[in-house]
Amino acid sequence: MRRFDNHPSWTRYRDILAQAFGITFHTEPTERQRQVRGHLIRYDDWRPAGPPVGVLILVHGGGGHGRILAPCALPALAAGWRVLAPDLPGYGLTTPAPGFDGDYAEWPAVIAELADQVEAGPVVLMGLSLGGMTAVSAAQKSTRVRGVIVTTLLDTSDPETFVGAARWRWLGRLSLGFMQRVPALFDRLIMPLGLVTPLRAMSSHRAMQRYFERDRLLGGRWVRAKFFRTLQQHRLSDPRLDCPLLLVHPGADDWTPVSMSLPTYAQITGAKSFQLLSNGAHLPAESPAFAELGQAMQAFLGSLTAPSASD
C-alpha cells in the first residue's frame, strides 16, 4: 500500500501549514484501503478521542487528494466526529480499477458508495472546490447522507463557469471547442494539472502556491483529458437535495469567486444556508477564515445531532 506517512508531499504540506498558518496536527490519521466500485481507494481515517458522534467524509477537488483536506478534519475531530478523507480515482495514492479511463462520473458514485458503507451513525459530506458539486451529487445517490457542507458550488456544465475555472480563459474556450468537435481525440490527451488549472490561486501564501504548482501529486500530476470533458458534461440530475446544505464560501477566492457559486446555490431546493468567510483563498487556511470555517462546520454538525434534529 502506498502511504502518505513520511511522504515528502505530506511533510512539506504539514510544515507550510504550521509555519505559514499556525495549523498543526497533534495526531495523524490511520491510512486504510477499501475496494469501492473496483477501485482500491486509499483513505485517511481520523478518529476522535471518544466514541464518534458521526462520520464526516471529506471530498477533494480536481487539484488535490484526501490528505490536502487534513486541516478540515480538525474542527470535526474536536466536535467528536470521525473523519474519512479518500483519494478519488486518478488522484493521490488510490489505485484505480483496471480499465478506468478518467470518467468524472466515478467520483460521486464512489463517494455515495463509501457513504453507504459506513457502519453506523449520521454521515455528512464536505466538499472543497470541485468536491462541492461532487458531494451534492453523491448525496443525491446515497441513502445515508444527513447533510452536505461545501466551499464552492461550481456548475462546470455552464460554459462560462468552465472557462472561468480554467487557468487561462483562452485555454478554457479552446478546450470546449476541442472536446465538442473531436471528443474521442480529446479524451486521449494526458496533461499536467498545473497546465490547465490555476493552482497558484489555492492560497495567498507564496510557499503554499509553489507547493501546489510543483508537487508531483498536485500540479505535477498528469491526468486524462477525459476527466475534464466528462466533468464539463456532468449536471445535477435533480435540483432537489433531501438533506441540509451549508455553503461556506472563502471571501477572497480569486480562482472561483462567490459569484460563480451563488447561481447553483439558488437552484438547489431544500434546507440550505450560506456564509461568506471574512477572507480566505480557494483553500481557506488564512486567519480568520479557517477559524470561521471551523465554527461553521461545528455548528452545522451539531445541528444534525441535536435532539430536535432526530425528532
Domain 8-158+236-283 in CATH: superfamily? Alpha/Beta hydrolase fold, catalytic domain (3.40.50.1820)
Q: Which residue positions in the chain have pLDDT lower than 70?
A: 168, 170, 307-311
Q: What is the pLDDT of residue 311?
A: 46
Distance CA 96, CA 190 (A): 16
Cell 483496471, residue located: 98
- Nearest-angstrom CA–CA distance, 229 and 294: 34
Rounded Cα distance between 138 and 104, Å, is 12
pLDDT at 309: 52
279: exposed, middle or buried (C-beta count within 10 Å: 0-12, 13-18, 19+)? middle
Distance between CA atoms of residues 221 and 244, nearest Å: 35
CA distance 286 to 278: 10
C-alpha cell at 68: 490536502
Give the C-alpha separation, 111 to 144, whole Å. Answer: 11
Interior angle at CA 144, CA 2 and CA 88, nearest 5 = 25
Name the residue among 123, 7, 137 with its Cα closest to residue 65.
Answer: 7
pLDDT value for 310:
47
Query: With contact defined as beta carbons under 8 Å apart, do 142 and 246 qualify?
Result: no
pLDDT of residue 6: 86
C-alpha cell at 46: 481520523
Helix (H), strand (E), coil (C) string for 32-77: EEEEECCEEEEEEEECCCCCCCCEEEEECCCCCCHHHHHHHHHHHH
What DSSP character marks residue 82? Answer: E
Domain boundaries, the chain: 8-158+236-283
pLDDT score, position 170: 64
Q: How far apart are CA 258 and CA 154, in angstroms?
A: 10
